[in-house]
Structure 1
Amino acid sequence: MDIQAAMGRFFDDQGNIALTGELTLAALSEIVFQMDLAAGQGERHCMRFWDYSQSREGEPKDYNRTQINTRVKVIAARLQQTAQPGARVAILANNSPEYIFSFLGILYAGMTPVPLYDPTEPGHAHHLEAVIGDARPEIVLTNSTSAAATRSFFATKPGTERPRILSVDALPDSLAAQWQQPTPAGNTDPVDTPALLQYTSGSTRTPAGVILTHRSVITNVLQIFRSAQVMTPLRMVTWLPLHHDMGIIVAALVNVLGLQFEFMSPRDFIQQPERWLKQLSEGEGHVYTAIPNFALEMSARVDAPENLDLSKVVGLIVGSEPVTEKAVQNFLEKFEPYGLQRQALRPSYGLAEAALLVSTPQTEQRPVIRRFDREALANNQAKISEDGVPMVGCGQVVNAQHLVIVDPETKAELPEGQIGELWAHGQNMAAGYLGREAETQATFRNTLGERITEGLPEDDFWMASGDLAMIVDGELFITGRLKDLIIVAGRNHYPQDVEYTVDHASEQVRPYAVAAFAIEGDDVEKLIILAERDFDRSEQDDAAAIEAIRAAVTQNHGVQPADIRIMDPDTIARSSSGKIARRVAKQRYLSS
């Protein structure tokens, strides 16, 4: 099947995306599957999961097109026997084939998946409690590996509050024959009904359920396919957590289209990044992957696997957290000798409120790294400086989507080179937040004020991201989070900038394990810095590290930290997706 032609049918001559009212992710998946069957592709291998629970080398578990479709319909049929269309169904499990089958099976049943994680995931019990309490799923899907922990998690709840729990790998294949195409309920076109409820990580606020419709997700899939100039045959290799928006959308994209998908668990990557590198190297086709920034640095610190060949890697999307010059350069320096092309790296920007992707590099020059004058940044201006703050560009807005930088106060569009809030507009935007009308209005129903660019939408469906950014020479640079901005004595300081300084001030500091935030003082805000000690460092060297950090921050930022603390590894608060949770860290600091 010609995937390029299949995707092209949804674009008109002007590059706009037009979806029919009946189209859903499940409908698209079944259309593509039936086309593959007709072409004799039912036995084609599509999925490989690497299980490292029994051996360091890993055991591959393989599935062909028909086997995947069968397991998806098995789960869908069981759900149709249990609940009505539109019901919310949570997934509580670690990365596994059953997770993918469950996600697609919920869609095939005409219900709404809520991607979550195994309850034993360390450090996230309160997040999971909050999400379950907000989503109130009727059914929870799990597998034999996570079933005991899942049942234990709900055991203390009153019977009326317990959802039905199904372990999907115990369901027989014979159930697939009982699946029926779901009948749409109500007057809403199926394409505009909820496709999934994606919860925010909780790093900046109480977890909120982002309602993504089928239009949102399919539109963004098409935008990604066109803007990233995806080449086929394609093989996607990933370890991203499937409860995270980047992980589940990527997995859904390749499985709906019947493309090659090879994956493992995040824990197995973190234990041995060489496993991911080896999987990138082996097999055929154009290799794509998506990772957060810390994985670049972590991978660059390990020995390259034997016979490593990264020449087939054509798309390495880096997102989920700010991308740093150090990580990019270290990764390239380490792996260019093994065939990795610099252009394969695609630092990108996205968020759940836009389904996934907003911008990605679409020029031959990538990745783009620029240095900006720190004083100018403090005044919301971009000024190139050879010894300035390094920033990695996130490319250009994807096709069939609009992006502007606005003044957060006046809502006026700002010209290139000025810092403001990033707003986006497109059919990929979420429908809103579950049960949060005020937040939905504030985030998704904005009207652009004074304009510079001609032809921008004049409606009130602009999405305010909450992220600060600037556009320089057509390249998007993310400078920080609006609510995380540190203001001391009237000057702006971006926490990522301060954290970068701390990260480089002393070898005592564990890479990418720093939280910088401000607390209220008597007259001005006070800068607080928390940094984890690296694994191989002694506690007796903490005092020297604190002085080195103090000197570096004072010299580079012109502000004296009020408090610097060196902490044990893995003690700074993180979100469920692994990001440093500054606001949670601040709350813990104030209560300590």
Structure 2
Amino acid sequence: MARSLVDLLTAHASQQPAATAYRYLVTGDGDGEVQDITYARLARRSRAVAAWLQDRGLAGARAVLLYPPGIEFICGYLGCLSAGVVAVPGVPPQGRSQNHRALIRTKRLIADADATVVLGGREVLAALNAMAEHLPELAGITCVATEDIPDEAADAWHEPDLAADQVAFLQYTSGSTSAPRGVMVTHGNLLDNERIITERMGHTPDAIAEHRGEMFVSWLPVYHDMGLIGPVLNTVYLGVTATLFSPLHFLQQPGRWLDAVTRYRPHTSGGPNFAYELCLKHATPELLDGLELSSWKVAFNGAEPVRAATLRRFADTFGPAGFRRETSYPCYGLAETTLMVTGGSVAAPPVLVDAAAGGPHEGEADAAAVGCGRPGPDTTVVIADPERQEELPEGEVGEIWVAGASVAKGYWRNALATRETFRATLKDRPDRFLRTGDLGFLRDGELFVTGRLKDLMVIDGRNHYPQDLELSAEMSHWALRPGCTAAFSVDGGTAGEQPVVVAELSPEAAGESEKITDLIRSAIGRAHGLPVRDIVLVHPGTIPKTSSGKIQRHASREAYLAGTLSVLDAAALG
């Protein structure tokens, strides 16, 4: 029985050495340059990196990984696991506009993880070296471009003794409501969550055979848990093939994602809700004519609120290209549970409910709540009242708590936060639960996520979820960018808490700012019975988001109060 992903990589390299593990589309296009790596080569390169680390006595140390998109990151990551070194995936500098943000995050990672080595690509490390004066944290830290480690180093590799509770890597959370924390994910956590992903997403031997081993297409960033634990590590867990390309190439031309699905016919591919919206925005007749999506079985949608309107429009728009409604696969997970907690049933359409009228019932409304599936095997999900430490009855909204072998060990060097988040208990139950900080309810075993506990707005004694206001705002005018709106409340003095909406607006509609502001105000008033204190329209790409694309509402609120938002057409808004 495999004790770690390292054991599985060794088995695949022995049993199917010539099979392709990963292919990487260098330009994002299937007809462009393609790099690939077999299981034999992947094992040898990983062992070369591992041997280099072992030779320097770094077992148990932390290694920050800073790579551009590509296969070399995977070799570096698996090299760390193969050496018993704790991998710390980081966000590499990606051009001038990203350097400041990446620099701050890199400083934080190196310092918080107490890293002793940085592994990366040549160009990334050269960029870091150029910023050395701003990175005193690099003093005394060894930096190595792993592509410069020769294959022959693998001959000195010795298999580490890896225990299930040994930390494999630190996954730094995206920090949508707080400063990022390093989640300690163990080798046992990884194996359990890969088992859950395999079961929930229907990655059976028959499915693998039907798809000729082509199981994934992914543009997701590999430093984020959705891109890493899903497409990258489930591939090596199963011994199948994944096609990868850069997130930047997807953002430049969203159609590349669907072209890759057409070309390679994977079983599974997905991303956050905004990715499906981007595809819809670029769904020209020319794109649709060239697509064949009938082999796509699982189009997972998670990491941010899943919107019923997006699911419906995507299925309607791409149905002529073979996409089926039941392929849409809402799911729920978080770094603290390694990744996946719940997922839908393969070949069944998403479950929608409308909780607006006296309790949940089946609904097709665009604003309906979307079910995120059922817990994976041996995973327990309860809805709790954290103050009373009591489990709530079905249909009642409370905090989502999770227990199971995928729940991580805790936060790196943060005993207080670990105790508060990972050690929750319910009255009359011995289990220890993870407090997710997310709100939701259960219905017939299906989980519905309604929002973040810290984002909840209480106005005039009523609870309002910011994503509901954001959706109403975005649907009021075509020029409001999907997934680029932040709603939050501010102190209105004697009037109490009042909502504010900040929304990114396409520049071509800047002359209609006043009209759009009125439409947003009217839409929120009709749908939620709320007067909006302020509406701010800002330049595209300026609303604070996490590395995975989640809206940072607290940061947006702080920027609003500080007057630092990048306001579009301020005169018209005056």
Instruction: Tell me the CA shift for residue 372 of structure 1.
Output: 2.3
Contact 2:503 2:536 in 1 (8 A): yes
Q: Deviations over 1:422-474 (max 9, x none)?
A: 11110110000012111111111111226xxxxxxx33421111100011233
Work out whether 1:393 is the aligned partner of 2:376: no
Residue identity in the other structure for 2:543 = I
Q: Could you say if the C-alpha distance between residues 533 and 279 of structure 1 is closer, same or farther in structure 2, counting changes exceeding 3 Å?
A: same
Q: 2:388 aligns with which of 386, 410, 419?
A: 410
Q: Which moved more, 1:146-155 or 1:239-248?
A: 146-155
Instruction: Tell me the CA shift for residue 365 of structure 1.
Output: 3.2
Between the aligned residues of both structures, percent identity stands at 33
Contact 1:277 1:305 in 2 (8 A): no
Instruction: Tell me the CA shift for residue 56 of structure 1.
Output: 9.7
Q: Deviations over 1:8-40 (max 9, x none)?
A: xx7xxxxxxxxx8xx122223223333x1xxxx
Q: 2:34 aligns with which of 57, 60, 69?
A: 60
Q: 1:260 aligns with which of 241, 253, 257?
A: 241
Q: Could you say if the C-alpha distance between residues 315 and 386 of structure 1 is closer, same or farther in structure 2, counting changes exceeding 3 Å?
A: closer
Q: 2:7 aligns with which of 27, 35, 60?
A: 27
Q: Where do 1:426-437 residues align within 5 Å?
A: 426-437=404-415
Q: Could you say if the C-alpha distance between residues 363 and 174 of structure 1 is closer, same or farther in structure 2, counting changes exceeding 3 Å?
A: closer
Contact 1:197 1:209 in 2 (8 A): yes
Instruction: Tell me the CA shift for residue 382 of structure 1.
Output: 4.2
Q: Where do 1:172-571 residues align within 5 Å?
A: 172-183=150-161, 190-230=163-203, 231-233=207-209, 234-235=213-214, 236-250=216-230, 251-283=232-264, 286-302=266-282, 303=284, 304=287, 306-362=289-345, 365-373=348-356, 382=360, 389-449=367-427, 458-523=429-494, 524-535=496-507, 537-571=508-542
Contact 1:118 1:150 in 2 (8 A): no
CA distance in structure 2 between the aligned counterparts of 1:517 and 1:124, rounded to whole angstroms: 26
Instruction: Tell me the CA shift for residue 255 of structure 1.
Output: 2.4
Q: Which moved more, 1:421-430 or 1:141-150?
A: 141-150
Q: Could you say if the C-alpha distance between residues 116 and 437 of structure 1 is closer, same or farther in structure 2, counting changes exceeding 3 Å?
A: same
Q: Could you say if the C-alpha distance between residues 422 and 510 of structure 1 is closer, same or farther in structure 2, counting changes exceeding 3 Å?
A: same
CA distance in structure 1 between the aligned counterparts of 2:128 and 2:533, rounded to whole angstroms: 43
CA distance in structure 1 between the aligned counterparts of 2:398 and 2:456, rounded to whole angstroms: 12
Unaligned runs of 5+ in 2: 564-574
CA distance in structure 2 between the aligned counterparts of 1:257 and 1:81, rounded to whole angstroms: 30
Q: Deviations over 1:354-409 (max 9, x none)?
A: 000000012753212222217x6xxxx64667769412110111111111111122
Residue identity in the other structure for 1:352 = A
CA distance in structure 1 between the aligned counterparts of 2:149 and 2:260, rounded to whole angstroms: 30
Q: Could you say if the C-alpha distance between residues 172 and 590 of structure 1 is closer, same or farther in structure 2, counting changes exceeding 3 Å?
A: same
Q: Could you say if the C-alpha distance between residues 143 and 290 of structure 1 is closer, same or farther in structure 2, counting changes exceeding 3 Å?
A: same
Q: Could you say if the C-alpha distance between residues 56 and 32 of structure 1 is closer, same or farther in structure 2, counting changes exceeding 3 Å?
A: closer
TM-score in terms of structure 1 length: 0.88
Residue identity in the other structure for 1:480 = G
Q: 1:72 aligns with which of 38, 46, 65?
A: 46
TM-score in terms of structure 2 length: 0.91
Residue identity in the other structure for 2:396 = Q
Calculate the aligned-residue CA RMSD, in Å: 2.1
3-state SS in 2 of match to 1:372? coil
Unaligned runs of 5+ in 1: 1-9, 11-19, 185-189, 451-457
Q: Which residue of 2 aligns with 1:3?
A: none
CA distance in structure 2 between the aligned counterparts of 1:192 and 1:77, rounded to whole angstroms: 23
CA distance in structure 2 between the aligned counterparts of 1:128 and 1:521, rounded to whole angstroms: 38
Q: Could you say if the C-alpha distance between residues 387 and 201 of structure 1 is closer, same or farther in structure 2, counting changes exceeding 3 Å?
A: closer
Contact 1:349 1:357 in 2 (8 A): yes
Residue identity in the other structure for 1:337 = P
Contact 2:172 2:183 in 1 (8 A): yes
> How many aligned residue pairs are there?
547
Q: Could you say if the C-alpha distance between residues 159 and 91 of structure 1 is closer, same or farther in structure 2, counting changes exceeding 3 Å?
A: closer
Q: Could you say if the C-alpha distance between residues 382 and 483 of structure 1 is closer, same or farther in structure 2, counting changes exceeding 3 Å?
A: farther
Contact 1:90 1:141 in 2 (8 A): yes
Residue identity in the other structure for 1:361 = G
